[in-house]
A and B are shown apart, each in its own frame.
Chain A
């Protein structure tokens, strides 16, 4: 019987240890592991390739550290209480039931923490919503179920739909590396240029989201939203629709090729000729 009680006490403590432990471990792992793209067991945001995505990533890490510290403190205090202030250990209950000083302290300190968080958050938002002085503009339209890209200044437009075959989805064929993240026509943009993206939709609300490029905005029928990206490096970046839009919401991905300026111009010319 005694052993049983001891085991129960240990298991009790383990629960709290587990809570604080996993919070601590995940923060340490996140800190140690740089964000990686499309890795299995990914614990953090994808690696940013634009200034906005980088700002988001840094802000995300800052607030995550803060909330992890708060969480660890809360768990540690509760864990300590459970171990120390138990009747089975002979603890006598104290009589106090209030303390104005405590209430003030634990109202003021969180308020200060929030102010500390609000400053960089405000700056980041101001940066993200500033679409002025862009180098080019692309209009993106969400459809059920695919995207339409319109390079309005260059008279180039095309649809972009999922190319993963049904056989892979139903499992009769092995799934490819870019399963559900591949399309027929990629969006192509030049590296280092501020691209203003106009968003709208033809039927229901969709949302355009490429994590590495940062930012996500809804594509709303009858309305035009805007966002901007300026990619710092070339490469292929993938994303997905991020607003439930019907049965194939999970099947309308986005693929963006960021290329050197020369290659972009060549692609544009090609599109104009064949279009």
Chain B
């Protein structure tokens, strides 16, 4: 493409629906991913409210147990594969090219296809709720033999997972190619912003893990329809093998869910502390360490299956070990805040809450790492509390932080700070009201994935359900904030914040449709 042709199209932003169907522009695709993620977040959230409505009181009032199990299953699948993962890919698309001084992603057309696979795949999943037999109801972990029993909803889910996996793998390839090949001259690896580091490492995890999941669900499909017996003991197979394969994917998956959030808050805290990120080198190595260790801890999700003692001990030790690099990262963020000069706009509030509340989840994770203790915690609400602390407070709050941080760059307008703070406080308080009591429910003996419970669990379930409803409806504030900022508001400068670091702050706000057509010089 010659310079003249590029100049001619430079200020022309395409219009209409075809713009969004055929765009190869990283900003447009980022926007598509982020809106898709937010819509899925609300859909998954609605399912969570069905769950919390049923659990408000002992007894069955709202749904029947089979539908309840479908809600539990699809809530998780939508949140993980429809909200969190696409959300972070949205951030990757918007921010990676700008942060490295590149004009776009390395493979723009594949980028478009990676996105459009998502609505197609998730429609299959939603459709599964309406076919005979209903949607998948074996938990998002779809263990056989239970998942072999399910109707065609399970098959639709398997196809969904295949297509979503494809989208993730293609996206990961794109991200690695972009980061490896298109950095502006002068931006060596150790000069990359930490958000870039966390995403490139996440991309490698995706490529390693997603095919394993594809393998597992394909074996499930053939067990269901094509006469194989991978997981059927009657045919010489082993149900536990599915768990090993699933969690070999599943554990790196949870780090895929969290590392980009760690990258986002590593950008935000230095800006609002007015101090450089503490321990950059350490942070890079800690992230890489976490990624490597994530491949050798998977069976801590399976402590009760009846592993040999040596296996139980190995996974206990390796799981405890992964606490070390995670702790290092927490301490480095704290050291960034220490002796800074902090202000507490909404992005900073969210970033601090992410660090503090993720720590709670990380510490309960350490408790669960201890195999003999986990025999009491496993499959109880203690686990449910743990993973909501790490995923919601780690990944989701991290994304909220990133939205508030970069919204002025994306839209050209400052968001409404008062509304932002309302969103923050309602979310944080409601989240803790919902999930902190669940630790106690788990200790007290309440199993997970049950639609009804015995009477001693009633009090904390009432509290949890009330919190859940406040939490769910509070997210509509974010919708208002985003729409308001798109339509208007105080004009944002290029820098937006006070002396933030990063190439994205050197372009105007809103960022022009094409940025860095010529590479900047990085010193």
A170 to chain B minimum Cβ distance, whole angstroms, is 6
Say if the beta carbon of B327 comes within 8 Å of chain A: yes
Do B451 and A59 touch (CB < 8 A)? no
Counting CB contacts under 8 A, is A236 at the interface?
A: no
Most buried by A among B69, B448, B455: B455
Contact A220 B306 (CB under 8 A): yes
Q: Which residues does chain A contribute within 8 Å of B455, judged by CB atoms?
A: 40, 175, 177, 179
For the complex formed, measure the closest distance between the CB of A173 and the CB atoms of chain B, giving whole angstroms: 10
B375 touches A74 (CB 8 A): no
- Contact of A114 with B320 at beta-carbon distance under 8 Å, contacts A44-B443, A246-B149, A250-B452 already known: yes
- Residue in chain A with minimal CB distance to B366: A67
B261-286, CB < 8 A from A: 273-282
Residue of A nearest to B270 (CB): A97
Give the distance in Å from the alpha carbon of A46 to the alpha carbon of B233 in the complex: 35
Q: Return A31 CB to nearest CB of chain B, in Å.
A: 14
Q: Which of B26-34, B336-344, B403-411 contacts A (4 or more CB under 8 A)?
A: B336-344
Is A38 within 8 A of B378, CB to CB?
no
Q: How far is the CB of B54 from chain A (nearest CB, A)?
A: 11
Q: A59-B370, A82-B342 are in contact. Are A204 and B316 (CB under 8 A)?
A: no
Known: A19-B356, A221-B233, A250-B447. A216 touches B379 (CB 8 A): yes
B364 at interface, CB cutoff 8 A? yes
A93 adjacent to B443 (CB under 8 Å) = no
| A103 near B282: Cβ-Cβ < 8 Å | yes
Q: In the complex the two chains form, what is the Cα distance from A146 to B233 in whole Å?
A: 21
| Distance between B286 CB and nearest chain A CB, rounded to angstroms | 9
Interface pair B278/A97, CB less than 8 Å apart: yes
Question: Are the CB atoms of B356 and A129 closer together than 8 Å?
Answer: no
- Verify A245–B146 contact, CB threshold 8 A: yes
Mark out the residues of chain B between 4 and 21 whose CB falls within 8 Å of any chain A CB in the assembled complex: none
A97 to B304, CA, bound (A): 44
A107: Cβ under 8 A from any B Cβ: yes
Any chain B CB within 8 A of the CB of A118? yes
When C-beta atoms are compared, the residue in chain A nearest to B442 turns out to be A45
Of A111, A121, A181, A242, the residue contacting B379 (CB under 8 A) is A242
B442-459 CB mask vs A (1 if < 8 Å, else 0) is 011101111111111011
Interface residues of B in 138-166 (CB under 8 A from A): 138-139, 143-146, 149
Q: Say whether A86 faces chain B, with CB atoms less than 8 Å apart.
A: yes
Which segment of B43-51, B58-66, B111-119, B291-299 sits at the interface? B58-66
Q: Residue A16 at the B interface, CB < 8 A?
A: yes
Report yes or no: B445 in contact with A211, Cβ–Cβ below 8 A: yes
Are the C-beta atoms of A114 and B323 separated by less than 8 Å? yes
Task: Tell me, in angstroms, the Cα distance from A94 to B376 when the chains sit together.
Answer: 46
Please, which residues of chain A bring their CB within 8 A of the CB of B275? Answer: 93-95, 97
- State in angstroms the CA–CA spacing of A128 and B359 once bound together: 30
Interface presence of A132 (CB below 8 A): no
A106-161 at interface with B (beta carbon < 8 Å): 106-107, 110-111, 114, 117-118, 121-122, 124-126, 128-129
B356 CB contacts on chain A under 8 angstroms: 16, 19, 74-75, 78
Answer whether residue B77 sits at the interface, using C-beta atoms and an 8 A cutoff: no
Interfacial chain A residues near B278, Cβ < 8 Å: 96-99
Known A-B contacts A22-B436, A220-B239; the reply to A93 vs B341 at CB < 8 A is yes
Cβ contact within 8 Å between A243 and B443: no
Are A110 and B327 interface neighbours, CB within 8 A?
Answer: yes
A217 to B, closest residue via Cβ = B304
Is B254 an interface residue, CB under 8 A from the partner?
Answer: no
175-232 of chain A: CB within 8 A of chain B: 175, 177-181, 199, 203-205, 207, 209, 211, 214-218, 220-223, 225-226
Q: Are B59 and A175 in contact (CB under 8 A)?
A: yes
- Which B residues touch A88, using CB under 8 A? 343
B328 pairs with A40, CB closer than 8 A: no
Chain B CB within 8 A of A63 CB: yes
**Cβ < 8 Å to A, chain B residues 90-111:** none
Q: A86-B343, A87-B341, A250-B65 are in contact. List 6 more A-B contacts (CB 8 A).
A: A46-B444, A203-B145, A205-B145, A216-B378, A226-B306, A249-B65
Give the 7 A-B residue pairs with the shortest CB-CB distance, closest first: A222-B233, A250-B450, A225-B306, A42-B444, A124-B372, A94-B339, A67-B363
Contacts A/B (CB < 8 Å), 7 sampled: A60-B373, A68-B363, A102-B331, A103-B328, A180-B454, A207-B379, A222-B233
- A residues near B, CB below 8 A? 8, 11-12, 15-16, 18-19, 22-23, 38-46, 55-56, 59-60, 63-64, 67-68, 70-71, 74-75, 77-78, 81-82, 85-88, 91-99, 102-103, 106-107, 110-111, 114, 117-118, 121-122, 124-126, 128-129, 168-171, 175, 177-181, 199, 203-205, 207, 209, 211, 214-218, 220-223, 225-226, 239-251
